Structure formats: C-alpha cells, structure tokens
Amino acid sequence: MHLFASTPWWTLPFLVVAILGSMFLQGVRWWMLLAAFIPTISFRKVISCHFAGLFYSIVLPTSAAGDFVRAALISKENSYAVSWGSTWVSRILGILALSLLTIFGLAFLDRQTLPKGFLISLLSTFILLILLIFLSFSKKITKHFRSFVSRLFPARITSVFENIRQGIYVYRHKVGSLVSVLLFTIIIQLMIVGTTSVLIYAITGTFYFLECLAFIPLIEILTMSIPLTPNGLGIREVLLKLMFNYVGLSNEQVGVYILMGFIAITLKLSGGVPVALDLLKNRSKLNTPK
C-alpha cells in the first residue's frame, strides 16, 4: 500500500511506546484501588497479574474478560473480596471516565451530523452507569435482590458473592481514593484518545482530536458491553468505520489505521511473559525433590 509506505517513520515506535505506556498505567490504576485496603500488596505482582489478564483477553470475549482473569490471579494471595471488589470498581470508574470524555467531545461537534443512534447509545450508557453505581454502593437497593438470590443458590456460593459485594461496598468510605483513581483514569483515556488522533494525523495530515474524544470512549464502552468476539475484535473495527465515515477518511486510510491498530493486540502478547514465568516456576516446584 502506497499510503502505508508514506506514513511517517515515527508512527510505529510512537504507537508501541504509547500503547505499552497506557497498558502499564491501567495496571497502576488497579494497584491504587487495591492498595487502599491492602497497603502491603506487591506492586510487581499486581502489574504481573494485570498484564496476564491482558494476554488472556486476546482470546476471551470482550475486553472486560481480562478483568476476571487478573482478579482471579491476585485473589490467590490476597483477599478475594477486595480483589474482585476493586476490579468491579475499576470498571465502573472506567465507564464513568469514558462517558464524561464522550460528553465533553460531543459538546464541540455538530450533533445533526452524528451517526444515527449515537445519542441514544450515549443516553443508554448513562442510564446503565447510574444504575450500576447505585447498585454497587447501596445495600438498601439490593437487599431484596440478595434475599431472592440466597434462596436460589447454596449458602456456600451466596457467601462468596456477599463477601465480594462487601468488598465493593466498602469503597464508599474511600472517597479520596475513588476521586484520585477517576482523575487518573481520565488521564489514561486522554492518552488513548490522543494516541488515536496522532495516528490519524500521521495517515491524513489532519488532527481530529475532538472527533476522537467524542467517538473513541463510546466505542470502548460498546465494545466491552457486547461479549461476542475476543477482545471485541471486529466489533471495534465496525464502530471505528462509522467514525471514519464521519470525519471523511478514505477506504485506504481506514485500511492503514486498522493495520496499525493490530499492533495493540500484538503488544498484549507481552502479558504472556508473566504467564510463562509462573508456569516455569510451578513446574520447577513440582520437580524439586521433597
């Protein structure tokens, strides 16, 4: 492709640094939530589990699948209530940050030219977000639901869910940590939006930062909400095509962007390093004579 060959040389190293940097900072964000209740938790272990989750998210449905993997891994050596609770709170704060950025970007765009259903999708996202926040931090609202569930499942199972529920609920007493993590999340998402706009600039020679600010966060929300393909593969590209049609990119320019976008998926393979090290460590323990 001629357009791919004419893309500036710095595009590839910029993407590698920006993507790896945002992946690392997302792990730091999770560590901040865990450290609010487990001050002695190993930063290295948290980052290792985070990257392992990214690795498994390549083959598991939706980008949120990696959250379940990393929570399961970190809960082996730490409180599973805090491990799973922090994972849920991290996801809720992530959706809130994405929604705020989408609204801010949308305020600068001509809403008459937006794709059909865009505003409806945004409104639906906010309704769901508000519901999740109230359900997460209020025991009164969920009291009857918990009572109903307790009659359906054995006490051993419901006690696990209740402990996790408590692990989520206690974050209402950590307002300072929640605000700090929310602001940190917004910075990370701005980095991702900026990376996208810089990549489009490298391809087209034009900055579309506000357009990216309006579309990219919503695309991420929809991608994690539709559990059909591993890591949202295919779904994200279809939604991005709608954004590209809005800004007027040619098919060749879209092709170059999608090709570059696969770098992000490839870099998630770096999460296989801690996975491989754990396998080797476990094998070494099995082979060690007692």
- Per-residue pLDDT, 139: 64
- What's the one-letter identity of residue 116? K
Mean pLDDT for the stretch of residues 273-285: 60
Mean pLDDT for the stretch of residues 253-257: 81
Q: How confident is the model at residue 88 (pLDDT cuts 50, 70, 90)?
A: confident
Mean pLDDT for the stretch of residues 19-44: 92
Task: Give the residue, 84 or 165, on which the prediction is more confident.
Answer: 84
Mean pLDDT for the stretch of residues 157-186: 81
HEC profile for 197-262? HHHHHHHHCCCCHHHHHHHHHHHHHHHHHCCCCECCCCHHHHHHHHHHHHHCCCHHHHHHHHHHHH
Mean pLDDT for the stretch of residues 178-198: 93
C-alpha of 231 from chain center: 10
Q: How confident is the model at residue 61 (pLDDT cuts 50, 70, 90)?
A: low
Q: What DSSP assignment string belongs to the chain? A: -HHHHTS-TTHHHHHHHHHHHHHHHHHHHHHHHHHTT-TT--HHHHHHHHHHHHHHTTTSBSTTHHHHHHHHHHTTTS-HHHHHHHHHHHHHHHHHHHHHHHHHHHTTS-GGGSPTTHHHHHHHHHHHHHHHHHHHH-HHHHHHHHHHHHTTS-HHHHHHHHHHHHHHHGGGG-HHHHHHHHHHHHHHHHHHHHHHHHHHHHHHS---HHHHHHHHHHHHHHHHH-TTSBTTTTHHHHHHHHHHHHHT--HHHHHHHHHHHHHHHHHGGGGHHHHHHHHHHHHHHHHS--
Task: Give the residue, 268 or 153, on which the prediction is more confident.
Answer: 268
C-alpha of 139 from chain center: 26
Task: Give the residue, 148 or 268, on which the prediction is more confident.
Answer: 268
Cβ atoms of 267 and 16 within 8 Å: the answer is: yes
Range in 28-32, 104-108, 117-121 the model is least confident about: 117-121
Using a pLDDT cut of 90, give the percent of the chain over it: 16
* Whether pLDDT at 145 is above 70: no
- Per-residue pLDDT, 81: 85
pTM here is 0.81
Report the chain's mean pLDDT, rounded to a whole number.
78
- Per-residue pLDDT, 250: 81
Range in 34-43, 116-125, 230-239 the model is least confident about: 230-239
Mean pLDDT for the stretch of residues 187-198: 93
Mind listing the pLDDT tens digit for each residue in 194-241? Answer: 999 999 898 888 888 988 998 888 888 777 766 555 555 556 767 777
Mean pLDDT for the stretch of residues 9-25: 89
Q: How confident is the model at residue 21 (pLDDT cuts 50, 70, 90)?
A: very high
